[in-house]
């Protein structure tokens, strides 16, 4: 008779010890029904380690097995691939990712696991909502956080609908709330692309490769995580840069998986994004405040596509925000 499935929850971290501790303590509050056992792996993307003492102290506080490993070569894909290798060597059934600036709902893992098992999924994801209860925020920062909450809820609803049937194109599941069947990783030798180490988008590339391999993907709407958005990220300049750099990363991902786009096509896409930004801006009086954020995102995408066209690359994730 088979025993409970073994789930590895991995967290890649760099320079956010306070938030990392909060993330780990939230995992200790999980309601864990029969059907699986949880282990946790922290991958610090540096060497020598700086959170070893904290992790050793936490191991005496939490109820789950907790391991720490260093990924010395800088880059988010490198850290995630170390977790993939750990899951494969350890004989785990499932590998999950959350980010080091997140806290999980008490039913997060149970909902994610149940959706994956009942749906026969190889790759599952859930929603992530922005929060900040750790710093005093100005009125403008609170306004932006409210807009982000609306937009992230909208994106989660679109993702859920896209995955409700049999998608005919890749649907991108973010590693902020992510679960993959380890046997599928082994069978298809799936890894995160190291070329996307510093610009991000490695999870989108993984979804695209998983789709190409025929993996079944799905969405677990009740599996919730909450990302602490620090005050340093709650300004229009940061939001513009983040989405501009994400657009550069999207073009790099397309180049790696499908080949570089023709310049005229890229220019047309950039102009279309800018046009949509103008439409959102003009429609804001009727569509509400969320249209302002969508306008900024479209303008940032336009800028990112033109930046890629001129040979610029993104190093967005070389800088860490948080504490």
Q: 161-172, pLDDT tens digit by residue?
A: 999 887 888 899
The chain-wide mean pLDDT, for the chain, equals: 93
pLDDT tens per residue across span 52-68: 999 999 999 999 999 99
Tell me what pLDDT residue 319 has.
Answer: 76
Pairing of strands 177-181, 123-131: antiparallel
Helix (H/G/I), strand (E/B), else coil: 114: helix
Mean pLDDT of 251-280: 95
Mean pLDDT of 214-227: 96
Among left, alpha and beta (phi > 0; psi -120 to 50; other), residue 88 is alpha
Mean pLDDT of 126-135: 92
Does residue 97 contact residue 10 with C-beta atoms inside 8 Å? yes
What's the whole-model pTM score? Answer: 0.94
CA distances from 246 to 8, 14, 200, 251, 299 (A): 28, 20, 7, 9, 12
Burial class (CB within 10 angstroms; exposed 0-12, middle 13-18, buried 19+) of 180: buried
Mean pLDDT of 150-154: 92
Tell me what pLDDT residue 2 has.
Answer: 66
| Residue 1 in this model has a pLDDT that exceeds 90 | no
Residues 307, 319: Cα–Cα separation, whole Å? 19
| Residue 270 in this model has a pLDDT that exceeds 70 | yes
Degrees, nearest 5: CA angle 38-33-80 = 25
Residues 199, 45: Cα–Cα separation, whole Å? 15
Burial class (CB within 10 angstroms; exposed 0-12, middle 13-18, buried 19+) of 264: exposed
Query: In 10 A of CB 308, how many CB atoms?
Result: 24
């Amino acid at each position: 008779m088979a025993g409970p499935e073994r789930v590895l929850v991995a967290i890649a971290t760099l320079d956010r010890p306070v938030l990392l501790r909060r993330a780990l303590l939230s995992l200790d509050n999980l309601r864990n029904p029969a059907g699986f056992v949880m282990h946790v792996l922290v991958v610090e993307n540096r060497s020598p380690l700086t959170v070893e003492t904290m992790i050793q102290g936490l191991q005496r506080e939490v109820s789950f097995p907790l391991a720490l490993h260093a990924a010395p070569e800088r880059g988010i894909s490198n850290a995630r691939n170390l977790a993939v290798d750990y899951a494969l060597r350890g004989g785990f059934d499932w590998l999950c990712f959350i980010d080091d600036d997140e806290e999980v709902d008490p039913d997060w893992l149970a909902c994610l696991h149940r959706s994956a098992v009942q749906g026969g999924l190889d790759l599952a994801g859930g929603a992530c909502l922005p929060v900040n209860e750790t710093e005093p925020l100005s009125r403008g920062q609170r306004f932006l956080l409210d807009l982000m909450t609306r937009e992230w809820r909208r994106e989660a609803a679109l993702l859920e609908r896209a995955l409700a049937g049999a998608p005919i194109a890749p649907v991108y599941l973010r590693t902020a709330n992510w679960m993959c069947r380890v046997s599928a990783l082994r069978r298809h030798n799936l890894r995160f692309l190291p070329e996307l180490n510093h610009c991000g988008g490695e999870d989108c590339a993984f979804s695209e490769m998983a789709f190409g391999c025929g993996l079944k993907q799905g969405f677990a709407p009740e599996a919730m995580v909450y990302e602490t958005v620090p005050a340093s990220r709650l300004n229009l300049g940061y939001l513009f840069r983040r989405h501009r750099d994400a657009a550069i990363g999207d073009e790099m991902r397309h180049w790696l998986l499908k080949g570089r786009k023709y310049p005229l096509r890229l220019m047309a896409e950039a102009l279309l994004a800018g046009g949509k930004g103008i439409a959102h801006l003009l429609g804001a009086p009727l569509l509400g405040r969320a249209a302002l954020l969508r306008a900024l995102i479209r303008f940032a995408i336009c800028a990112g596509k033109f930046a890629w066209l001129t040979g610029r690359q993104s190093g967005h994730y070389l800088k860490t925000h948080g504490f």
